[in-house]
Amino acid sequence: MASDKAKPCELNQEKYDADDNVKIICLGDSAVGKSKLMERFLMDGFRPQQLSTYALTLYKHTATVDGKTVLVDFWDTAGQERFQSMHASYYHKAHACIMVFDVQRKVTYKNLSTWYTELREFRPEIPCIVVANKIDADIKMTQRSFNFARKFSLPLYFVSAADGTNVVKLFNDAIRLAVSYKHNSRDFMDEVLQELENFDLEQKEEEVPDRVQRGNIESPSPS
C-alpha cells in the first residue's frame, strides 16, 4: 500500500456533489473522434490529465451558465471502450453524457445501443446527446434520418471535429443540460444512494466514535 501514498488523490468524486461542479462523460467506439471533439472545443485551453489507473482522460473546463461559474470535468475514455464497457466509476455521479458515432462507419452506430444500455444501467435519467461526427467526410449523411436517436427521444447533433461544425454548440448545450439536471431533477438512484450514505454515516457514527476514520478505509495505515 506504500505506493498509494505517493499517488495524489486522483479521483475524488465527492466533489461532483458540490453545486458548481458537473461531470460529463463521453461514450462511443474506438476512433469515432471523442478526443478530437474535446480538443476542438477546448482549443488551446485544454490540458488533459491522463489517469492511467482508471483508463480515462480528464479535461477540465470552466464555463458560465446563467451568470454562474461552473467547473466542468469532461471524462473521456482512454482505450477502455475497446471492451465495449466502462468501469462503473466512469458513470458514477455523471450529470450528462455525450454519445458519439462516426457517420462513415455503420458499426459505430450499431454499437450505440450497447453503450446506451450500459449508460442507463448506471444513470437511468441523465441527459444524453447523440453525436454524428465526421460530417465533413460525408455531408450527405446530414440529410438522413437516424432512428436510434428518435426511438429514445434523444437530441441528435451533426458535427465535425475537423471543420468545427456544431462542436461548440454541442458542448455548451451539454453543460447546460448537465447543470439543469443537477439542479432540477434528482435522480431516483441519486436519492437512494444519498439515503444509503446517510444511513451508513449514522451507523458509523454509532459504531466508531472517532469520526476521522470514516471514509478513510482505503487510505494507507500510518506505518
Partner 1 sequence: MHFLYFFKVYVRMMCTAKKCGIRFQPPAIILIYENEMKGKSRQRIMPVRNFSKFSDCNRAAEQLKNNPRHKNYLEQVSLRQLEKLFSFLRGYLWGQSLAETMEQIQRETTIDPEEDLNKLDDKELAKRKSIMDELFEKNQKKKDDPNFIYDIEVEFPQDEQLQSCGWDTESADEF
Q: Which of 49, 52, 62, 84 binds partner 1 (CB under 8 A)?
A: 84
DSSP state of 137: T
Q: Which is nearer to partner 1, 70 or 103 (CB)?
A: 103
Neighbour order of strands in the sheet with 96-102: 49-51, 56-65, 68-77, 21-28, 96-102, 128-133, 156-158
Q: Which is nearer to partner 1, 57 or 111 (CB)?
A: 111
Could you tell me the CA-to-CA distances from 49 to 36, 111, 134 in Å, in that order?
15, 27, 25
Residue 78 in the binding site for partner 1 (CB under 8 A)? no
Supply the minimum distance, in Å, between the C-beta of residue 22 and partner 1.
20
Distance CA 38, CA 56 (A): 13
Which of positions 26-55 make contact with partner 1 (CB under 8 A)? 29-31, 33, 36, 43-44
Residue 141 in the binding site for partner 1 (CB under 8 A)? yes
SS3 for 1-22 is CHHHHHCCCCCCHHHHHCCCEE
Nearest Cα to 80, choosing from 27, 8, 25, 156? Answer: 27
Q: Which of 164, 185, 191, 219 binds partner 1 (CB under 8 A)?
A: 164
What binding mask, one character per residue, do residues 91-130 give for partner 1 by CB under 8 A, x or -? -------------xxxx-xxx-x-----------------
Q: What region, left, alpha or beta, does residue 179 occupy, with left being phi > 0 and alpha being psi -120 to 50 degrees?
A: alpha
Q: Which of 21, 57, 77, 160 binds partner 1 (CB under 8 A)?
A: 160
Could you tell me the CA-to-CA distances from 164 to 158, 167, 171, 179 in Å, in that order?
11, 6, 12, 24
Residue 143 in the binding site for partner 1 (CB under 8 A)? yes
Q: Which is nearer to partner 1, 149 or 182 (CB)?
A: 149
Q: Which of 18, 52, 62, 168 binds partner 1 (CB under 8 A)?
A: 168
* Binding segment (CB under 8 A) for partner 1, from list 15-23, 24-32, 51-59, 181-189: 24-32
Half-sphere exposure of 137 (CA within 13 A, CB side): 12
Per CB under 8 A, residues contacting partner 1 are 29-31, 33, 36, 43-44, 79, 81-84, 104-107, 109-111, 113, 136-137, 141-151, 156, 158, 160-169
